[in-house]
């Protein structure tokens, strides 16, 4: 078929255009057609596609990647870290509307949450954020002499010190990826159970960080890492407006793009035990915020909801999902009791 179509194109299209009469007219015609196609492409790009198309509406969850405006321009570049230490951090932000009472410390998982927390915050409950992952490294909120955490100390200690120096901060939320705490890869963090060694040093490191903050009169909230699914792009389904054609298109979620809550709790049991082990050391001062009730419904965790992706890149929640978590009034709901 390819050879036959190539021959047909050559004889019926290419040869008549390249040779023969009306050369000027051919050039003008082709140039005009190219300009029209270019204009249509430009208009399509400016409009971000044609949302009124039926195929767009039935693939809404594949088009909205879950961006909801991040901090909608409400943040300022200030977090209490100054001098040479400031250059270490990928993010040093605070709500510009009023002095924050809440602080968020952590790696890229914390960075994924920040915009949603700012957008949904209320007067008297604004946020400050120190952390993220940049060219210098990540803020993993553990204080430890253990070798696996040595790389994080130059970030974590200045970040915690900045919060300790800020008398207005009353509550501090700590967020870190499971794979950062236990030195796991992605997607190994979906199923691999951490070794007893990492369980011990992670518990101790988190407890040391909490102790510093509690001693300064701060309340601490440990944020449970979100469920880990496959890459978001691997979980996007493609439907057409033709029922007959859909029969040949795979419309079932691939394995790994969803998980039952019971299975998620089972897989993350040892990690959750690490967080729960910290709370009893500081009664009434350390609590745990679970992200699963915010991200999962009807017993199952899916990659999208209401036409929005819940994950943006690798295993990070989307900006839309961060807003859902913020709406639950972190850090006051979904608290796991020790």
Are residues 145 and 12 part of one domain? no
Which pLDDT belongs to residue 64? 61
Residue 59 covered by a domain: no
| CATH code for the domain in which residue 101 is found | 3.40.50.1110
Q: How far apart are CA 289 and CA 258, in angstroms?
A: 22
Kindly state whether residues 42 and 141 are assigned to the same domain.
no
pTM above 0.95, yes or no: no
Range of the domain at 27: 2-49
Are 186 and 243 found together in one domain? Answer: yes
Q: How many domains does the chain have?
A: 2
Does residue 130 lie in a domain region?
yes
Q: What is the pLDDT of residue 338?
A: 31
Mean pLDDT of 76-89: 90
pLDDT tens digits, one per residue of 294-332: 999 999 999 988 878 999 888 999 999 999 999 986 555
Provide mean pLDDT across the span 270-289.
Answer: 92
Same structural domain for residues 224 and 331? yes
Please tell me the predicted confidence (pLDDT) of residue 205. 97
What phi, psi does 81 have (nearest 5°)? Answer: -95, 130
Whether 25 and 77 share a structural domain: no
Q: Please tell me whether residues 33 and 145 are part of one structural domain.
A: no
Segment 246-276, tens digit of pLDDT = 777 666 788 889 999 999 999 999 999 999 9
Strands of the sheet with 171-175, listed across from one edge: 75-76, 91-95, 127-131, 102-106, 171-175, 219-223, 286-289, 335-336
Considering the domain architecture, whether residues 330 and 307 belong to the same structural domain is answered as yes
Rounded CA-CA distance 258/263 in Å is 10
The alpha carbon torsion through 154, 279, 91, 320 (nearest 10 deg) reads: 150
Average pLDDT, the chain: 89
Q: Is residue 234 scored above 70 in pLDDT?
A: yes
**201 domain residue, yes or no:** yes
- pLDDT for res 166: 96
Q: Place 50 in a pLDDT band, splitting at 50, 70 and 90.
A: confident
pLDDT at 146: 96
Whether 166 and 314 share a structural domain: yes
């Amino acid at each position: 078929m390819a050879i036959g179509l190539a021959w047909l194109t050559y004889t019926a299209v290419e040869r008549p255009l390249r040779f023969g009469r009306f050369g000027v007219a051919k050039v003008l015609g082709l140039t005009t057609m190219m300009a029209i196609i270019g204009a249509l492409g430009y208009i399509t790009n400016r409009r971000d596609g044609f949302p009124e198309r039926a195929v767009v509406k039935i693939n809404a969850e594949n088009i909205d990647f879950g961006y909801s405006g991040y901090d909608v321009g409400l943040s300022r570049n200030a977090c209490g870290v100054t001098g040479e230490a400031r250059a270490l951090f990928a993010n040093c932000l605070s709500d510009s509307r009023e002095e924050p009472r809440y602080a968020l410390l952590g790696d890229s998982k914390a960075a994924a949450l920040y915009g949603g927390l700012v957008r949904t915050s209320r007067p008297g409950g604004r946020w400050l954020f120190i952390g993220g992952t940049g060219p210098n490294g990540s803020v993993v909120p553990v204080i430890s002499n253990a070798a696996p955490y040595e790389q994080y100390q130059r970030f974590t200690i200045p970040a915690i010190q900045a919060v300790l120096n800020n008398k207005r901060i009353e509550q501090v939320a700590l967020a870190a990826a499971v794979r950062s705490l236990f030195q796991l890869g992605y997607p190994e963090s979906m199923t691999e159970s951490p070794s007893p060694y990492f369980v011990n040093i992670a518990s101790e490191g988190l407890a040391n960080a909490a102790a510093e903050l509690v001693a300064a009169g701060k309340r601490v909230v440990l944020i449970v890492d979100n469920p880990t699914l496959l890459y978001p792009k691997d979980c996007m389904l493609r439907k057409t407006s033709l029922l007959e054609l859909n029969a040949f298109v795979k419309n079932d979620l691939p394995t790994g793009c969803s998980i039952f809550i019971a299975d998620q709790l089972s897989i993350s049991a040892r990690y959750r035990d690490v967080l729960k082990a910290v709370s009893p050391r500081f009664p009434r001062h350390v609590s745990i915020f679970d992200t699963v009730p915010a991200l999962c419904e009807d017993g199952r965790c899916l990659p999208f909801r209401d036409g929005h992706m819940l994950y943006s890149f690798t295993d990070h929640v989307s900006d839309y999902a961060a807003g859902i978590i913020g709406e639950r009034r972190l850090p006051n709901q979904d608290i796991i009791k020790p």
